Structure 1
Amino acid sequence: MATGAECPVVARVRSVAARHPGRPALVTDAGRLTYRELWRQVLGWRDRCAALDLAPGALVAVLAGPGARWPAAFLGARAAGLVPLLVDVQQPVERTGALLAAARPAAVLRSEAGEAERTGEPAPRVLPPEAGYVVFTSGSTGAPKGIVGRAAGLLAFIDWEIAAVGAGPGTRVAVLTSPSFDVVFRDLLLPLCAGGEAHFAGRAVRAAPAAVLGWLAERRVEVVHAVPSLAARWLAADGSDGRVDSLRWTLFAGEPLHGRLVRRWRAAAPSTEVVNLYGPSETTLAKFHHRVPGDCGPGLLPVGRPLDGTVLSLVHPEATGPVGDGVRQIVITSPDGSLGYLPGTCGAEDAERLRYAPESGTTCFRTRDRGVLDDDGNLVVVGRLDSLVKRRGVFVDLARVEAAAAGLAGVTAACCVQLADGDVVLAVQGFGPAAAAALRRPLRTALGDGMPDRVTALPVLPLLPGGKADRRAVADLLDRKETDERRAS
């Protein structure tokens, strides 16, 4: 089987392994794997993949278990000229089945068992030579869409992050993300491309928010990537008032970041620098960054400025309704974006919004996000186009409601949704029913006519596997709650 040019990520890891063969590369509860041992495993997977005699560029599914065996399978597939899709075996069976059906892999690599076999798929996917991996979106705004990414794009971001945080041999980075989501590449490749240590949280830690801060401190983790909702849950669940003094860098992404959360996070990790990242999966990992100052206010924080080579355009929104002065739809053009969506996994409208130009190697993506530049020229993402909803003929901005709630004392998480009957309801975490209702007064001061119809308390906001708030689950939960209350009355 012809493998073509060497994958740039594989080439980087090979180079690091040659320079630091005896250093720890992957660290789990069960022990450590050195770079020499990791590279041997990569070569083993390369040979298993080659023995399958698949076409160059064939898509293969890597079933990722709870340990740290899947990185070698992923890198081995790339070394063999194949295009891997990471599938977290701990996610719901229904999602796994749906992803595999949509992906049509030519083979399955079972990382825990060390096995590789053809699927028998009659029409397996074969992707272009530039393809380096496939990832599916979380489905937070609809059905999950397959994205064909480039390994060169991964490495471009990782090189920026290595320089930004000063990562090098021995730097300890937490791996807390589900392998099914592209954020895991930040967790994994930052250390592996710098000679650092990737510390994998075990299943017990990932399933217990109260254990995360203690685990970070015990492992003396220096860099962590987090979704704001998930970090808020870690803080709320931790009852030890412990500190993570080792943490030097915290990089948030995936959701709006508010200064109130940053202040609470810095109280738990007093030595950390905080960076707010922004960039949809379609543009590869992140394309904007903002280093949060120590004296930040409690409100919504900017996502900052684009990485080198990335161009921001703010265009007239595709949605109707009031969006605010200077607020426009965000368009991102990048030389390091994806190749587009996996055919058959998205609608024509989505495909039109994401364009790849082979002749220039650039990707242009018209996001569904609304943004504005602040006085310092930093991009502020103020919400999504679909967060503007009509309530009894008048537009309400769900993102603005959430931002106002996040600025109130005691609110650890907030999610605003429109229910089936058209009412707008704000769900808050960290309050009892009476305390939640008392938030209406300060919210009315901030929102005026944009007030939600009701404020309700939930013990815990449902989260997607990647850590973002699960809006559809929140809406379904509130619809059922209100139906039950009407029946009871």
Structure 2
Amino acid sequence: MTPPRRAGGPAPTDRLDSRFRAVAARGPARTAVTDAYGPLTYGELAEQAAIVTRALRDRVAPGQPVALRAGRSRHALAALLGILGAGASYLPIDPGYPEQRRRHLLEDSGTQLVVTDGALAPDETPLAELGPLRLAARPPVPGSAVLPPDTAYIIYTSGSTGVPKGCVVGHAQVLALLDAAVPLFGSGADDVWSLFHSWSFDFSVWEIWGALLYGGRAVVVDQETATDPDAFAALLAAERVTVLDQVPSAFGNLVTEATASGLRLPALRHVVLGGEALVPDDIRRWWAAGVAPGAAVTNMYGITETTVHVTHCRLTPEILREAGPGRTPIGRPLGHLDVQLRDETGRPVPPGERGELWVGGAGVSHGYLGRPELTAERFPQDPEGGGRRYRSGDWAVADAEGFLHYVGRMDGQVKLRGFRIELGEVEAALRALPGVLGAACLVDDAGRTPALAAFVVADRDTLPPARVRELLAGRLPVHMLPQALHYLDRLPVTPHGKLDRTALVAARTGGRDPGAARVSIP
């Protein structure tokens, strides 16, 4: 097996795995992680990671991607640490993804090795048994992209053309985030972090390393518990979690459970929200119920391409009152980043005027895997000087003091339940279904939390909602499946022939009827 070619230059000496080993050496008997199987010490976790490292060491080049296809458990953390310890990078592949998407991620990345806690695919050859984990080889992919040797992970995000794209992030970029952000929370060895999110969602990067690089304890939340607010609330209380990371929609479910049950979390010090726009009423309900009187609530706007978090905003009743509809307070940039608001020509806009967020600094990632044209477009050299920046595609407004409010997307990309979703990718999947003559998607924000609504030009009897759901589930991950389906005789268009999304909103609510009939997807 021939490893893919790598970009030149040595791998870094200051790495996530080396910092972890230093923490483990200082306190090997401290509890590092707790999951459904019980506690595991730093020393034990380091030993399990070393088993994976030894199996990989002679099989990988610096930065080479190794797929991590594992559920939420201590075993996944050991695998992740072991992959990095061998000098490789990890490509998280959620076992719950449809087979077609899992295969695309492996083939697009040129990944030749897989570490998994589950069954192997038919084209995978077992190489080693690593306790509860298995190492397997995949057929080589010709023409694999060149990766920097300091690559730590590749996380795929939704693509507007229907093809997901991999974002390449280095060790230095993650360490810059942690060095800038963790001190803001005063987090250390006494903290207990919840690991709530899928490894395929970059919020998990913050959770994993925020706990393990500072001597804290990570509580892995399994999939079943994560989707059950009652069980999740009980876990938070039993484990005395001090740092809770949540997407606002999941937080809203927790608030509902907490207010109904009288839950109290006296140990909780911080609630960190990110991944989508705030629901201010949920935060007010949280405060009013007195669930965690000692816990600060912080909103952190972030982007995968600039390494998880970009800004931070400690929320107060006053900040929420001043935000106003359609304006999410995101505060100020973290210390390792520089954020500017630019117009369509790339020129800075004055305070109070809407502009696109351009992000520069130590957290800007290497770009997209094997997509040089897209990387050049989205990561241009700053025309005002200062190196590369990432053009976020997000609109924001800054006041005279530089305090930022997020006000929406420039394109068809949305964030729901913490995941970035290109509406074009969902629409492409819908149009590919037999019997669909046209398709469009939008975010339905009429309820307490936003939801994805789909509109199709199709015959309901021939292609009923259950069948649509079944077919889409074979193409898209769960977080990209529409929550509601509307059948249309035709897609409404503007006088210029473009899709009339305003008319779609009216069709959704019944105010205008171009042949619409709302059908909830189970």
Regarding TM over 0.5, the answer is: yes
Match in the other structure for 2:70: 64
Asked if structure 2 preserves the Cα contact closer than 8 Å seen for 1:310 and 1:333, the reply is yes
How far did 1:74 drift? Answer: 1.4
1:118, distance to aligned residue in structure 2 (A)? 2.1
User: Of 218, 235, 238, which residue of structure 2 is paired with 1:215?
Assistant: 235
**Aligned twin of 1:408:** none
Q: Provide the residue aligned with 1:313 in structure 2.
A: 340
Q: Which residue of 2 aligns with 1:290?
A: 313
**Within 1, Cα distance between the matches of 2:53 and 2:62?**
13
User: In 1, distance between residues paired with 2:161 and 2:278?
Assistant: 19
Using structure 2 for the length normalisation, give the TM-score. Answer: 0.72
Q: Distance in 2 between matches of 1:107 and 1:367?
A: 32
Look up the match of 2:293.
Answer: 270
Residue 110 of structure 2 corresponds to residue 104 of structure 1: yes
Which residue does 2:363 correspond to in 1?
A: 336
| Matches of 1:141 and 1:234, distance apart in 2 | 35
User: 1:374–1:280: structure 2 CA closer, same or farther, 3 Å change rule?
Assistant: same
Q: CA offset at residue 203 of structure 1?
A: 2.8
Give the letter aligned to residue 413 of structure 1: T
Unaligned runs of 5+ in 1: 390-397, 406-410, 422-461
The aligned counterpart of 1:134 is 154
Matches for 1:234-249 after TM superposition, within 5 Å: 234-236=254-256, 239-249=260-270
C-alpha displacement of 1:65? 1.9
CA distance in 1, matches of 2:455, 2:234: 38
CA distance in 2, matches of 1:368, 1:271: 36
8 A contact 1:214–1:244 mirrored in 2: no
1:343 is displaced (CA, Å) by 0.9
In 1, Cα distance between equivalents of 2:308 and 2:161: 18
Aligned length: 417
The amino acid of 1:166's aligned partner reads: G
Report if aligned partners of 1:341, 1:351 keep a CA contact under 8 Å in 2: no
- Which of 453, 477, 481 is 2:485 aligned to? 477
Q: Are the structure 2 counterparts of residues 104 and 246 from structure 1 closer, same or farther at C-alpha, using a change threshold of 3 Å?
A: same
The answer on 1:151 being equivalent to 2:171 is: yes
| Residue identity opposite 1:137 in structure 2 | T
**Partner secondary structure for residue 132 of structure 1:** strand
One-letter amino acid of the structure 1 residue matched with residue 95 of structure 2: V
Q: How far, CA to CA, are the matches of 2:56 and 2:482 in structure 1?
A: 39
Q: How far apart, CA to CA, are the structure 1 residues paired with 2:340 and 2:161? A: 22
Structure 2 unmatched ranges of 5 or more? 119-131, 415-441, 458-472, 489-506, 509-514
C-alpha deviation, 1:380, in angstroms = 0.7
CA separation of 1:375 and 1:57: change in aligned 2, threshold 3 A:
closer
Looking at structure 2, the residues matched to 130 and 305 of structure 1 have their Cα atoms a distance apart, in angstroms, of 28
Q: Which residue of 2 aligns with 1:89?
A: 95
**Alignment pair present for 1:116 and 2:135:** yes
Q: Amino acid of the residue matched to residue 135 of structure 2?
A: A
In the superposition, relative to structure 1, how do residues 416 and 79 fare at CA in structure 2: closer, same or farther (>3 Å)?
Answer: closer
Secondary structure in structure 1 of the residue aligned to 2:148 = coil
**Alpha-carbon distance in structure 1 between the residues aligned to 2:176 and 2:328:** 25
Which of residues 34, 56, 62 in structure 2 aligns to 1:49?
A: 56
Distance 1:331 1:210, change over 3 A: same
Question: For residues 518 and 300 of structure 2, what CA distance do their matches in structure 1 show?
Answer: 43
CA deviation after TM superposition for structure 1 residue 35, in Å: 0.4
CA–CA separation in structure 2 for the residues paired with 1:218 and 1:142: 42
Contact 2:454–2:482 (8 Å) recurs in 1: no
Task: Give the Cα separation in 1 of the matches to 2:386 and 2:86.
Answer: 24
Amino acid at match of 1:243: R
SS across alignment from 1:99:
helix
Q: Does residue 272 of structure 2 align to residue 251 of structure 1? A: yes
Q: How far off is 1:5 after superposition?
A: 4.2
Asked if residue 25 in structure 1 is aligned to residue 32 in structure 2, the reply is yes
Check whether the contact 1:288–1:305 (CA below 8 A) recurs between aligned residues.
yes
Residues 349 and 49 (structure 1), Cα distance of their counterparts in 2 relative to 1, 3 Å cut: closer
**Closer, same or farther: CA 271–110 of 1 in aligned 2, 3 Å:** same
Matches of 2:355 and 2:246 in 1, distance apart? 27
- Compute the TM-score of the two structures, normalised by the length of structure 1: 0.76
Letter of the 2:354 counterpart: V
1:138-197 alpha-carbon deviations (Å, 9 max, x no partner): 569954220000111111212233211111113100001011111111111101010000
CA drift of 1:216 comes to: 1.1
Task: Compute the displacement of 1:237 (Å).
Answer: 5.0
Q: In structure 2, give the amino acid aligned to 1:485.
A: A
**Contact 2:357/2:395 (CA < 8 Å) preserved in 1?**
yes
Task: Tell me if the contact between 1:302 and 1:380 (Cα under 8 Å) persists in the aligned partners.
Answer: yes
- Of 448, 455, 458, which aligns to 1:412? 448
Distance 1:361 1:83 in 2: 28
Using the TM superposition, name which of 166-175 and 95-104 deviates more: 95-104
* Kept after mapping to 2: 8 A contact 1:275/1:292: yes
Q: After alignment, is 138-147 or 101-110 more displaced?
A: 138-147
Which 4+ residue blocks in structure 1 deviate beyond 6 angstroms? Answer: 465-468, 480-484
C-alpha contact (below 8 Å) 1:87/1:96 kept by paired residues: yes
CA RMSD of aligned residues (A): 3.5
Secondary structure in 2 aligned to 1:236? helix
CA distance in 2, matches of 1:79, 1:256: 36
Question: What percentage of residue pairs aligned between the two structures are identical?
Answer: 30
Equivalent pair of 1:59/1:125 in contact (CA under 8 Å): no
Q: CA deviation at 1:415?
A: 4.4
**Match for 1:16 among 11, 23, 41?**
23
Query: In the alignment, is the contact (CA less than 8 A) between 1:173 and 1:196 conserved in 2?
Result: yes
Q: 1:141, 1:214 → 2: CA distance?
A: 42
Letter in 1 for 2:411: D
Q: Distance in 1 between matches of 2:478 and 2:299?
A: 16
* 1:415/1:375 CA distance change after superposition, 3 Å: farther
Pick closer, same or farther for the CA change 1:307–1:4 going to 2, 3 Å. Answer: closer
Give the superposition deviation at 1:334.
1.6
Q: Which residue of 1 aligns with 2:41?
A: 34
> 3-state SS of the aligned residue for 1:69?
helix
CA distance, structure 2, for counterparts of residue 163 and residue 173 of structure 1: 15
Q: Deviations over 1:415-442 (max 9, x none)?
A: 4868569xxxxxxxxxxxxxxxxxxxxx
> Is the 8 Å Cα contact of residues 229 and 467 (structure 1) preserved in structure 2?
no
Give distance in 2, aligned partners of 1:228 and 1:361. 34
For 1:370, the aligned partner's letter is W
Measure, in 1, the Cα distance between the counterparts of 2:170 and 2:234: 36
